[in-house]
Structure 1
């Protein structure tokens, strides 16, 4: 398995894996499959070229088997922080350490950039993701009730934080 930063050359495989995650796990993401599926491939190219956002991919040969992103905050007083976004590993690849390897690469790069804090949100009840994030050093610091509405159900999001220094 190889972990590397994604480039706009990876837009096709990135888009396909992202859409799969949104379709199969709508409760895990604030983005929706319906909205993202309508966006052109150019939107994925643009996202992978945005200097404020970096994505990493896990590759098994040529197959993309996991993704995670880092969205830096832009306001001067918040530039020491970034959000971990878009984490997804397909069920058939779970248990191989892919999520942990992606988070390790993201945290190392964030630290190298001088970032000091990472934030993320995880849907309450997603025990696997919560365990992964805790193992990577994140701690729950809050809860947003009714954060997302999926199929007529309100779901809470747990807010997590990890200091890098």
Structure 2
């Protein structure tokens, strides 16, 4: 397994894995497959060049099997915070350390950035394996957002989690 920051050349593979994530785990993301299926690869090429977000990929034999994005807060009073979003590992590659390696890379990057003191994420309350991973890395639940997501007339609560660096 290799973890690396994604670059323009990874955009097509990223988009394919992102769409897989939205199809396989629709309850875990704020957007839907229908909303993103027509997004251009260029959108991600541009995003990967941004200095305000860091998208990492887990590769096995040069195949992208997991993704995670770490996002800076732009406002002055929030610059001490970052957020982890869009975390996903292909089902066949779960339980092999890919998710933990992606999380560790995001945390390491946040620690290296000047002024960053805490990292936030949200996770659907029913996703026990993800919650266990985040807790094992030091994240703490500080609240629950009831009915955070609604999909097909079904609501999903999210745990709000933070890691103080």
TM-score range, shorter chain: over 0.9
**4+ residue stretches of structure 1 with deviation over 2 A?**
none
- Is 2:2 the partner of 1:2? yes
Please state whether the residue corresponding to 1:148 is helix, strand or coil.
strand
Please state whether the residue corresponding to 1:9 is helix, strand or coil.
helix
TM-score (norm 2): 0.96
- In structure 2, stretches of 5+ residues that fail to align are none
**How far has the Cα of 1:73 moved from its partner?**
0.4
Residue-pair matches, total: 164
- Is 2:147 the partner of 1:146? yes
* Equivalent residues in 2 for 1:122-141, closer than 5 Å: 122-141=123-142
Cα distance in structure 1, aligned partners of 2:151 and 2:60:
32
Q: Match for residue 30 of structure 1?
A: 30
Q: Match for residue 101 of structure 1?
A: 101
Please, what is the CA RMSD of the aligned residues? 0.9
- Is 2:49 the partner of 1:66? no
TM-score (norm 1): 0.96
**How far has the Cα of 1:9 moved from its partner?**
1.4
Cα distance in structure 2, aligned partners of 1:69 and 1:19:
15
- Measured against aligned partners, the alpha-carbon deviations of 1:40-71 in whole angstroms (never above 9, x if no partner) come to 11112122222211101111121001111101
Stretch moving more, 79-88 or 37-46: 37-46
- In structure 1, stretches of 5+ residues that fail to align are none
